[in-house]
Amino acid sequence: GTPLRDLAAAKGIYMGVALANGTLSSDATYKSIAATQFNTVTPENEMKWDTIESSKGSFNYSGGDAIVSFAQANSDKVRGHNLVWHSQLPGWVTSLPTNQVQAAMENHITNEVTHYKGKIYAWDVVNEPFDDSGNYRTDVFYNAMGGGVAYIADALKTARAADPAAKLYVNDYNIEGTGSKSDAMYNLVKSLKAQGAPIDGVGFESHFIVGQVPSSLKANMQRFADLGVDVAITELDVRMPTPATTANLNQQATDYANVVNTCLAITRCVGVTAWDLDDGHSWVPSTFSGQGAATLYDASYNPKPAYTAVQNAL
Ligand code: XIL
């Protein structure tokens, strides 16, 4: 059949995948499927703060550079992931005196965005700013800079100055359907827009449980689009208890198709990124005990019913 990347392009969206450089450089099948089927790449971990600047002022771009090279050789877009996040954040940042946090954040953003200037389609500038109730996480950035909107606006402005061509996103999970956390993100975007902060898009991670794609997904994404931002499905996977059953794999196919159809139905939905290429390299089993089988390919790289469903949806 026609590769997903070509089907997606013909419909005006991209089909992306999160990749790990270690696997890309050691596993020819993984690399070949990534190149053939997808036209946007997100580094799974290589551009996060703990990898890029594990000690203050010392920057390591080797893994991120390798993924960018792969993407460029393949004419793929790259989603930069991510600049500011409470997790995978080195201890030196959380231990800084409060009055040094803003400078450290701005320096980190400026250095990383400048390094990749011209090579990144979109940055997840701030990742997961809200807790599960929809309150701002009271992390080191929030505490040092006078609250959520303030540090996020500052991060966005700093990124914009370093690469004016990159789209700038805020990204989070459990904002896919309507609810208090989605409302919190909606209010953030409204506030950022009102103060003229450079916000271009909202990323909906979409780490779903089989059979539980929110029925409000389309209406919810549309209300963000109506604020004048792009929207994207940035980290799609659909997990289930392992071992997988045929019934769950078929429901998963329905769920994947539903998400792709939703993006296709929203003019400002720019694309869908699968979070991890195959079940053998998925983050799910090590994060959600007893769960897995969440991706489009099984651990032997056979396309699953979900793959065929995405192909048909596109
Ligand atoms: C995950 C990676 O897939 C894992 O390899 C890593 O150990 C932890 O982070 N939300 C995000 C992603 O924004 O960065 C996370 O990626 C998954 C949840």
Q: Mean pLDDT across the stretch 207-217?
A: 98
Pocket lining for ligand 1, CB < 6 angstroms: 44-45, 127, 205, 235, 283
Q: Mean pLDDT across the stretch 235-245?
A: 98
In which residue are the tokens 């089988």 written? 293
Nearest atom in ligand 1 to 275's CA:
3
| pLDDT per position as a tens digit, 65-83 | 999 999 999 999 999 999 9
| pLDDT per position as a tens digit, 87-99 | 999 999 999 999 9
Q: Mean pLDDT across the stretch 56-72?
A: 98
| 235 a catalytic residue | yes
In which residue are the tokens 């997961």 written? 128
pLDDT-derived band at 103, boundaries 50, 70, 90: very high
Mean pLDDT over each residue of the chain, to the nearest integer: 98
Q: Mean pLDDT across the stretch 215-227?
A: 98
In whole angstroms, give the CA distance from residue 241 to residue 294. Answer: 10
In whole angstroms, give the CA distance from residue 240 to residue 248. Answer: 7
Q: Give residue 43 CA to ligand 1 midpoint distance, Å.
A: 10
| 106 a catalytic residue | no
Check 46, 112, 128, 205 and give the catalytic one. Answer: 128
Nearest atom in ligand 1 to 20's CA:
5
Q: Give residue 195 CA to ligand 1 midpoint distance, Å.
A: 31
Task: Kindly give, in sequence order, each residue whose CB lies less than 8 Å from that of residue 233, ignoring residues fewer than 6 positions away.
Answer: 203, 204, 206, 259, 263, 269, 271, 272, 273
pLDDT-derived band at 294, boundaries 50, 70, 90: very high
Q: Give residue 283 CA to ligand 1 midpoint distance, Å.
A: 7
Beta bridge partners, 232, equal 203
Check 46, 176, 205, 235 and give the catalytic one. Answer: 235
Nearest atom in ligand 1 to 128's CA:
13
For this complex, say whether ipTM is above 0.95: yes
Residue ranges of E strands in the chain: 14-19, 40-43, 77-84, 122-127, 167-172, 201-204, 207-209, 230-241, 269-274, 291-292
Q: What's the sign of the alpha-carbon dihedral 25, 162, 93, 143?
A: negative
| pLDDT per position as a tens digit, 136-188 | 999 999 999 999 999 999 999 999 999 999 999 999 999 999 999 999 999 99
Spatial contact of 49 and 43, defined as CB atoms under 8 Å apart:
no
Nearest atom in ligand 1 to 276's CA:
3
Q: Give residue 216 CA to ligand 1 midpoint distance, Å.
A: 25
